[in-house]
A and B are shown apart, each in its own frame.
Chain A
Amino acid sequence: MKLTIDQRWDLIDKIAKQTITFGEYRHTLKDANGELTIKPFTGIPIAIAVMYAFWSIFGSFAGFFTDGFFVRLFDAYWLPWLQEVFPGQGGWLYAIMVDAGGIEGGEFVLSDNCLESFGVLTSGLFVAIGVVLPAIVIFYLMLALLEDIGYMPRLAVLIDTMLHKIGLHGYAIVPTILSLGCNVPGVTATRILETKKQRFIMMTLLAIFIPCGAQIGIMQDVIPGLMGWILLYLIIGYFIFGYILNKIVPGKAPEFLIDVPPYRRPMLSNIGKKVWGRIAGFFKVAIPFVLLGAAIVGVLYQLGVIRFLGDALAPVFVGWFGVPKETAGPLIAAFLRKDLAVAQLSVIEMTEYQMITAVVLVSIYFPCVATFAMMLKEGWKELLGAMAVLTVVVFAYGGLIHLIGILLGVA
């Protein structure tokens, strides 16, 4: 027998009356904290403080390990040692694996740091282990803390009004924040949104505008002074194009109902397990991709493909986006890993504004292959739609950023 909804509630009422008694409930400190962080008047300043703390701990922790330890290890010991022992200096294998070097005064010279060398075993390993690993360790540690304490749903409630402007609702903060670690789980997390329209907007926006933890980690290291501008451009893009998508994508964007859970004391074992799971995943998936990316770009350089592409696309790169044509190489690397792409960009000669534009382009022009695969899994129609939006965004927004640069007199 099936009950109607009313009958079911009627029955539950009967059952509850006979089995549950509610005693007196005293307001606890935990409840008071819970309320303080969700009422806008106190909650918004607290949210800003939490985000700022997240940001500064992230920066100082990652910087401490990368600059204080890994840069020295890789540039002062690893690179010179490999340059010394790897056979065939100047040959193509040497260039791909260790050091592509440079020509100075007509002579081949070796690079003096792991970013300029472009080798799989030097640049590739340095980016993956020296820069990105510390960044993702601290990122996931803090994310796990926020998750387990129960802060995420409160953030969702606070940011609800703002996200409604772009066709989403507060809970879209969950895929957004997860994407700041890695876009792949971010894409899967869009399943918690109710309608196709919301899922499409969310997936498209995060694939285009949300830089992953690895990319943020490398930006923090190689272009710390410009990162603020790059993130600002990405956040503004997120809202501008979200607003436009909300207007043109058909479908509903309903309000959300959410259970805000009580704050709970995070369990160390669970935090440890989650962070460890991420790191293990990073070693298994990300590091091979970084090395592969470095190898592919190395091979394409050796074959002259990248110079050819750069020359062929020069009108677009230089004319439309206002970046040097050498940007072609990193853009190819960005298919596999954005962190590697930013590392490669950072050693190309260009002005600060060109660097800002180029890094924004690397972020928005195509999701990395892992994210692409995950989007495909969620539905090919959505993926095609997202790619169409992406193409428009790259040209429109990239051109706009160039135009802003021209108007400001910096490009």
Chain B
Amino acid sequence: MKVLLMGHPNVGKSVFFNRLTGANVTESNYPGTTVDFTKGYMKIGGEDAELIDVPGTFSLDPKDKAEEVAVAMLHENKDVKVICVIDASKIERGVYLALEILEEGYPMVIALNMWDAAVDKNIRIDINNLQRILGVPVVPTVAISGEGIKELISRLKEAKPVEIEDIIKNAGGLT
């Protein structure tokens, strides 16, 4: 199995990557820390899996060379499952990227990362409803302390491609 970490810059992808693979890629608190991809290995339910960390990207329409690396990795690996990392306090634009990836037919789980910060900001998110609408597993996480990571990985097996039409239907149709 191949798993790709996608998400906006500075949402914690590299923190996930280091935690899951025991690797040592640089983690910092500024967008653009990761500018190249790194592969690492881990076990998921006894099975070997390859995990790929890529630079953050706002959309699948790259605006700089680092984003190009991310989009190219997604397109070169048609058989990956995507962990889409979203900043829980900035869900809307994170979902934009998630939708783009889902439209291309990739199976996905969503990590709502920095969940603690969203709670501090009094942002409430109805996880169950979000899962129902999107049709993919959604897991609140705090990558830096490891909260939610186990659940995130265990739910990778539920990740499957979803039809955008279904998402539209679940959301109550477009305007």
Partner of A171, one of B32, B36, B129, B144: B32
A150 within 8 A of B: yes
Contact B171 A11 (CB under 8 A): yes
Interchain CB contact under 8 A, B99 and A8: yes
Q: Which of A257-265, A285-293, A331-339 contacts B (4 or more CB under 8 A)?
A: A257-265
B30 partner residues in chain A, CB cutoff 8 A = 147, 150, 152-153, 174, 261
Q: How many A-B residue pairs have CB under 8 A?
A: 130
- Whether A19 lies near B122 (C-beta < 8 A) is no
- In whole angstroms, how far apart are the Cα atoms of A149 and B174 in the complex? 41
Q: What 1/0 flags go to B117-155 for Cβ under 8 Å of A?
A: 100011111100110011000000000100000000000
Q: Determine the chain B residues whose CB is within 8 A of the CB of A258 once the complex forms.
A: 31
Q: Determine the distance from Cα of A310 to Cα of B51 in the docked complex, in whole angstroms.
A: 54
Is A14 touching B171 in the complex (CB atoms < 8 A)?
Answer: yes
Is the pair A11, B167 in contact by a Cβ cutoff of 8 Å?
Answer: yes
- Contact partner, B26, options A9, A21, A150, A274, Cβ 8 Å: A274
Interface centre among B29, B55, B65, B99 (most CB of A within 10 A): B29
Q: Tell whether, in the assembled complex, residue A3 and residue B124 are in contact, meaning their CB atoms are under 8 Å apart.
A: no
Given contacts A1-B164, A261-B30, A261-B31, contact A15 B133 (CB under 8 A): yes
Contact partners of A148 in chain B: CB under 8 A: 27-29
B72, CB-defined interface residue at 8 Å: no
Cβ of B5 to closest chain A Cβ, rounded Å:
18
- Asked if residues B35 and A189 are in contact (CB atoms below 8 Å), the reply is yes
**CA of A150 to CA of B29, assembled, Å:** 5
Whether B123 lies near A270 (C-beta < 8 A) is no
Contacting B at CB under 8 A, from A386-405, are none
Distance to closest chain A CB from B58 (angstroms): 9
Query: Are A270 and B27 touching (Cβ within 8 A)?
Result: yes
* Binary flags per residue of A375-387, CB closer than 8 Å to B gives 1, else 0: 0000000000000
Contact of A19 among B31, B117, B129, B167 (CB under 8 A): B129
Q: Which residue of B lies closest to A259 (CB)?
A: B31
The answer to the question of B168 belonging to the interface, with a C-beta cut-off of 8 Å to chain A, is: yes
Shortest CB distance B169–A (Å): 11
B: number of interface residues (CB 8 Å): 49
A192 to B165, CA, bound (A): 35
Q: B-facing mask of A3-44, CB < 8 A → 1, else 0?
A: 100011111111110111111110000000000000000000
Question: Would you call the interface of chain B mostly helix, strand, loop, or mixed?
Answer: loop
Best-surrounded residue of B30, B33, B63, B129 (most CB of chain A within 10 A): B30
Tell me the complex Cα distance, A57–B83, Å.
Answer: 41
Q: B77 an interface residue at 8 Å Cβ cutoff?
A: no
Asked if A89 is an interface residue, CB under 8 A from chain B, the answer is: no
In the complex, the chain B residue whose C-beta lies closest to that of A277 is B24
Would you call A192 and B35 a contact (CB within 8 A)?
Answer: yes
CA distance A1 to B96 in the complex (A): 15
Chain A contacts for B35, CB-based, 8 A: 188-189, 191-192
Residues in B with CB closer than 8 Å to A191 are 35-36, 55, 64-66, 69
Chain B: minimal CB distance from A366 (Å): 24
Which chain A residues border B10 with CB–CB below 8 Å? 259, 261
Instruction: Point out the residues of chain A lying under 8 angstroms from B125, CB to CB.
Output: 19-20
Q: How far is the CB of B97 from chain A (nearest CB, A)?
A: 10
Verify if A193 is at the interface (C-beta below 8 Å from B).
Answer: yes
A273 CA / B18 CA spacing, docked (Å): 11
CA distance A346 to B37 in the complex (A): 42
Q: Is A325 an interface residue (CB 8 A)?
A: no
Residue B122 contacts which of A23, A199, A270 (CB distance < 8 angstroms)?
Answer: A23
Interchain nearest-CB distance for A252 vs B (Å)? 12
Interface residues of A (CB under 8 A from B): 1-3, 7-16, 18-25, 144, 147-150, 152-153, 171, 174, 188-194, 199, 258-259, 261-262, 264, 266-267, 270, 273-274, 277
A-B contact pairs, 6 of them (CB 8 A): A14-B171, A190-B65, A193-B64, A259-B9, A259-B10, A270-B27
